[in-house]
Amino acid sequence: MLLTMARAEDNPDDAELLAALRARRPEAFATLVKREQDAVWRSMMRLTQDAAMAEDLSQEAFLRVYQRLDQFRGDSRLSTWVLRVAFNIGLRYLERQRTNGMMLIEPDTLADVEDDSPTVLQQMLDLERQTFLTAALAQMPALPRALLGFYYVEAMPLGEIADSTGLPIGTIKSHLFRARQWLREQSDRHFGVAHVS
């Protein structure tokens, strides 16, 4: 019984957590941060492709969440609202970077192919695909790149992406379609696939 109560306190549902947050109980905010920090950081990484900046923007997002708790209406899950606040902060950061004429992109470091592996050719092909995808995503604008990450990496349903970003589902579908189409064209060009008319 005591163990069950401890677990419930460690992972309160949204209503309990929100009540504690609005009462400004410090442990409630710590619980929220612990519960949502990974999702917020991944969202910021998807937008910025810079780990240090993702960390800074995540902290800014949680500060904004704390300051604006009274604005949460309860129309969505608390986690969805937190992601939306974070996403908006990330987009504002990108807009500032674009207006300043700089866009920071850190290329991923990829693992070396082991020469003694029996499947060296397969590893080389996988590495080539991974290198291509990393480079192509780095060239893609932040919004479609983030939407691809939410949909394919995080496996978020379209409705939750819409709640998190504030975009209509139709707009999200259009961005995803165009992003997939662009990646396909880049892949065909990179790997030399010719289409017969």
CATH of residue 52's domain is: 1.10.1740.10
What total number of domains does the chain contain?
1
Phi, psi of 127 (to 5 degrees): -65, -40
Per the structure, the complete domain to which residue 89 belongs is given by 1-106
Distance separating alpha carbons of residues 130 and 147, to the nearest angstrom = 19
Residue 146 inside a domain? The answer is no
Confidence class of residue 100 from pLDDT cuts 50, 70 and 90?
low
C-alpha distance across the termini of the chain, in Å: 70
Q: What is the pLDDT of residue 124?
A: 59
pLDDT digits (tens, 9 = 90+) for 21-70: 888 888 999 999 999 999 999 988 888 888 999 999 999 999 999 888 88
pTM of the predicted model, to two decimals? 0.57
Residue 84 inside a domain? The answer is yes
